[in-house]
């Protein structure tokens, strides 16, 4: 066997081994695997995550009726500290970080110099010069390049920090009975620290369900003991572990968007016409034009002034009860207007709802006579259905308990 043949064989082995490379396991995987009845896993940022654990429909109703526990450890997390941390993040993101108080969380987004959205996420201010940035995609090289001239330290802490989302009407009762005294005073988008097993857990009143809920972050070594603490306290409150399928239903009802699902990130887009500005994905309200210069500011404001925005993200209500995910949207049944990025039959509203990206002037000037083309399986054949759609406000579901402080005691 010559050197060339040996090299080729080595490359083939490397390719096979790459395919076989197992997905990483989150700090809570041991508990999730023990609860899993359907072995329905998917890959989230390289981690093995459950799409469902026992029954997607019942998992959804755990969110809306009792308490649901969802592993958010794969969410990408960056710790940003240093004397210039506030100034750096204010230069980076759309909202004014100077207005973000210690112990508060800010939903935000960030763009490239052309005003195209790179990602959206949550920014936690844990101290005067101590921030945690959580998002969908990895951005460390870009964050480091953007830090030139700023006195900041940036590091990824995704692996070392475990995260749980506790959502639903009895979520507060679970925390109360788990011994987190004073958590009832936590207002929406507030964050506070508690002692746990000789360490610290931070709890924020945030979530991705549009319901009463919290997110908890703890060092990896304390992850299982935190799970067990919540699970034990939650038994009397019908706590259930859930997968992404149920969470996705709830987030659509809440009108929340997901990167690379409802829009393509600027770094992930293969074609220029796939990129989106904040105003084109419903994030115009995040842009603070009065703060100092930030990435994409000129491009965003120029697009507004010159009226060159090309797309608009809308909520749709569709006749019938067949979900329209990925369906094409038409105007007057013949002019292609856009595409449904996410759609479900909403169990809470009893409506067929969707989030759609439309090409202007559809959705802005032309808002009537919209239709979606759905292909439904009927007796082993796909049947084409044209269903009328109307633009409706988001969120589709708005629950008073999400913001009530103190939360209802159940």
Binding residues for substrate are 215
59 phi and psi angles, rounded to 5 deg: -65, -40
Residue 271 burial (CB count, 10 A): 7
In 138-285 the beta strands, taken as DSSP E runs, fall at: 153-156, 161-167, 191-196, 199-204, 213-219, 239-241
Token pair, residue 47, equals 């981690």
Binding region? 215
What is the C-alpha separation between 145 and 149, in angstroms, rounded? 10
What is the C-alpha separation between 391 and 398, in angstroms, rounded? 17
Edge-to-edge strand ranges of the sheet holding 117-127: 104-111, 117-127, 130-135, 76-81, 153-156
Token pair, residue 33, equals 């695997």
- Spell out a b/e string for 360-379, using b for 16 or more CB atoms within 10 Å of the CB, else e: bebbeeeeeebbbbbeeeee
What is the C-alpha separation between 355 and 343, in angstroms, rounded? 6
306 phi and psi angles, rounded to 5 deg: -90, -5
| Angle, CA 309 vertex, CA 308 and CA 313 arms, to 5° | 165
What is the C-alpha separation between 248 and 143, in angstroms, rounded? 28
CB-side neighbour CA atoms (13 Å) of 158: 20
Task: Return all residues near 293 (Cβ < 8 A) that are at least 6 apart.
Answer: 91
Handedness of CA 198, 215, 217, 110 (dihedral sign): negative
Please, what's the largest Cα pairwise distance for the chain?
Answer: 75
Whether omega before 231 lies within 30 degrees of 0, making that bond cis, reads no
Pairing of strands 381-392, 191-196: unpaired
């Amino acid at each position: 066997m010559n050197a060339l043949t040996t090299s080729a064989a080595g490359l083939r082995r490397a390719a096979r081994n790459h395919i076989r490379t197992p997905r990483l396991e989150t700090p809570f995987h041991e508990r999730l695997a023990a609860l899993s009845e359907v072995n329905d896993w998917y890959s989230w940022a390289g981690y093995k995550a459950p799409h469902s654990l026992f029954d997607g429909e019942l998992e959804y109703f755990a969110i809306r009726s009792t308490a649901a526990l969802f592993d958010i450890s794969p969410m990408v997390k960056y710790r940003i500290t240093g004397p210039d941390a506030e100034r750096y993040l204010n230069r980076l993101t759309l909202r004014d970080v100077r207005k973000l108080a210690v112990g508060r969380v800010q939903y935000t987004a960030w763009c490239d110099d052309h005003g195209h959205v790179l990602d959206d996420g949550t920014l936690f201010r844990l101290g005067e010069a101590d921030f945690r940035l959580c998002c969908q995609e990895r951005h460390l090289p870009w964050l480091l390049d953007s830090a030139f001239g700023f006195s900041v330290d940036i590091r990824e802490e995704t692996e070392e920090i475990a995260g749980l989302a506790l959502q639903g009407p009895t979520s507060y009762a679970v925390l109360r009975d788990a011994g987190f005294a004073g958590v009832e005073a936590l207002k929406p988008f507030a964050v506070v620290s508690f002692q746990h097993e000789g360490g610290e857990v931070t709890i924020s009143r945030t979530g991705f369900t549009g319901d009463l809920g919290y997110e908890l972050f703890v060092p990896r070594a304390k992850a299982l003991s935190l799970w067990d603490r919540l699970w034990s306290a939650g038994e009397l409150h019908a706590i259930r572990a859930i997968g992404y399928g149920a969470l996705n239903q709830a987030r659509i009802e809440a009108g929340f968007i997901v990167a690379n699902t409802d829009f393509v990130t600027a770094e992930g887009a293969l074609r220029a016409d796939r990129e989106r500005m904040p105003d084109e994905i419903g994030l115009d309200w995040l842009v603070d034009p009065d703060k100092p210069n930030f990435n994409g500011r000129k491009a965003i404001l120029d697009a507004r002034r010159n009226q060159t925005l090309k797309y608009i993200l809308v909520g749709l209500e569709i006749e019938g009860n067949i979900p329209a995910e990925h369906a094409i949207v038409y105007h007057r049944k013949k002019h292609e207007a856009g595409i449904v990025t996410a759609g479900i039959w909403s169990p809470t509203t009893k409506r067929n709802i969707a989030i759609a990206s439309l090409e202007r002037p559809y959705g802005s000037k032309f808002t009537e006579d919209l239709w979606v083309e759905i292909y439904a399986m009927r007796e082993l054949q796909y049947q084409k259905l044209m269903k009328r759609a109307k633009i409706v406000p988001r969120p589709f579901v708005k629950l008073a308990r999400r913001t009530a402080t103190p939360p209802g005691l159940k």
